[in-house]
Structure 1
Amino acid sequence: MSDTQLYPQINPPHRLLMGPGPINADPRVLRAMSSQLIGQYDPVMTGYMNEVMALYRGVFRTQNQWTMLVDGTSRAGIEAVLVSAIRPGDKVLVPVFGRFGHLLCEIARRCHAEVHTIEVPWGEVFTPDQIEDAIRQVKPRLLLTVQGDTSTTMLQPLEELGAICRRHGVLFYTDATASLGGNPLQADEWGLDAVSAGLQKCLGGPSGSSPVTLSPEMASVISKRRCIEQGIRSASHEDGDDEMIWSNYFDLGMIMDYWGPERLNHHTEATSMLFAARECARIMLEEGMDNIIARHALHGRAMVAGIQGMGLSVFGDIANKMNNVMGVVIPENVHGEAVRKTLLEDFHIEIGTSFGPLQGKIWRIGTMGYNARKDCVLQTLAALEAVLNRQGFRTTQGAAMQAAWDIYDAEARP
């Protein structure tokens, strides 16, 4: 048997991805990705890079010059910011309300930071006063936050934290991978010094490129550290090793040189992913950031209403839930994984499981990006209701659909 018979052409089955991400990419993004490659220093390519920077300023709602892409998944963007900003021995404060706060802690520790945490139970978020009290006590150089943590489906309010950080001389970073595009984020107005994200959730693209934006203050810190590092290398000064950025690939100073007017060689740009990221941002700004956030809020409300309509409970503090993903408490005597398996095999619909303290306790259902649509919500509710009834969990037939339709009807009324 030939290798071509052993390994036929990739032809993945159709799935409706209604979990916490990734989601189905917008067909326009897939078409952009299929464009032919061009050289990284072709004037057309460098023009596309400039367009990407301008487009993502609109997405992040910022005037930051240094708004660009880090090649890699959303975790690449997180790591690039942290390894470039954190110096060994820096105190950092991480408010942990889910799995991805723990991720920030892990990366910061690998940067040899002195990591301090505050924690709330999964399903809750922090008040600004709680965070300011911790800043007063710890006196960190950086505050590292997650805006939307898909492990708990919660959205941490950030609006007041920038002013708090400025009062205490703290640099302010947030991971907006799960939240950007589906929930408000105002990088400049909220005083954010660095934000990183990914394409595979509300932005409607595939995983593989991480948009980031850096305030002038953060860019200055990174550039200054870069100058120190270059001085250390040129002088072969071993005592200065603690100032050096340990990663070459994720060194944002070098990436800034690559994206800046000098276009200094750092890596070969992931051209197809740049095309995808450009199209994601173009589509979002064409729809309008306020409109796209309102769309996510509408379909998120309809999904919540439908879930409650079939007698299920929503996990956590609904007032602080992300628009684009929700946790559903798995009823007693219902086998959560069996439900997911039947949804996938019989309806080709994927919903998410959970982990950590929520493993086996909740499903996570997303309504985001290209899948933040009425038909996706209604298909998922109808299929889930049918599977639950087959498993022996009785619902009032059609109640979920009626509750979701009521949300849509109310929105349609003048």
Structure 2
Amino acid sequence: MKIQKVLAAEVLDSRGTPTVGATVVLSDGSIGVANAPSGASTGKFEAHEKRDGDKRRYHGKGVQKAVQSVTETIAPVLENIRKVTVGEIDRIMIELDNTKNKEKLGANAMLAVSLAAAKALAMHYRQPLFRFLGGANAQKMPVPMMNILNGGAHAANNIDIQEFMIMPVGAKSFSEAVRMGSEIYHTLGGILKSRSLAVSVGDEGGFAPDLASDEAAIEVILEAIAAAGYTTDEVQIALDAASSEWASGDGYRLPKRGTQYSAAQLISYWEKLCEKYPIRSIEDPLGEEDFPAWTTLTERLGKKVMLVGDDLFVTNPVRIREGIERRAANALLVKPNQIGTLTETLTAIALARDNGMKTILSHRSGETEDTSIADIAVAVNAGYIKSGAPCRSDRTAKYNRLLRIAQENDLDGNYGG
């Protein structure tokens, strides 16, 4: 078996912004197709996303140079290799790039090829992607963390916390968890509409109303949970503060409301919020360079709440090791485009898991119909997945893929809740 063809194209993500799509064709006719996602609030330490910068096309956000990386640099080498495995393909691309942060080829170009190659190989071996990657051990369906109210960089409203999510931890199966999330989402929409509040949605499908405070957002979600017939034992709250966006000098400043915090004050704020509300998880509660404050917060809240490193870790084993050594955070958010290849993504997951950290597979705010993260979540038995609201096809594609995996493989009841 050989790689017959590696193709790339400039395609659109869910925000109408270009991204890289790749197709890998094997000599037996097996085909894999994948697209790279793109983030709005990105971490400082993420792998390089290659953009053209030509203001005459797509306001400078075109990816023709990244596509060119595939067609002119990656494809000629991969089409001549003898050993066709995901690990070998990723190793070759990393060597071709030969930069610290994927600056030559672009993480968007490399990830699209990496995922497309994995899908082609899965087809060759007549296996679904999750089984090809995870083998017989891939048995667990993740808890969906559904972003049903948007703020921060994901919405044009007055809410500073970027994501307000619900986690149906009390569901008996994955399909029941999706149903519970959908019911609560629509109940929330009805409540907002009854109060003449906006029911338009943000980048990830959550509603984006103006509210009196960020706490008011939590309270209206709790109201929706109850009105839909559920308790906070069954459905709990998760937040993504994306507080690297708040970093200002030696402290933090909320960009929409203007509130100022020192690191100590922000830690106290999260402690009070967790005492008051059924919050199970907080992502990026502190800035990406504020390791000392992360250590303090983990000491204080880590036994009760998932403290999730996104911008802090950027799916990078070097940063994850530093977090482990500093006892900062107890959970890893996994975004494959932050590191650039599937192999490096799986390495990051294994490192986190071996050191007692929970793992959450995650979408980006700029998504496509690609469902790779759904298969990866099952392949590694991740406890959780973030794929946005049960709304917008770029988000529901992932939930629908998981529903099919659960049904077709008799895994629905193997639920991590």
TM-score, structure 1 normalization: 0.30
Which structure carries more helix by proportion? Answer: 1
TM-score, structure 2 normalization: 0.30
Larger Rg: 1
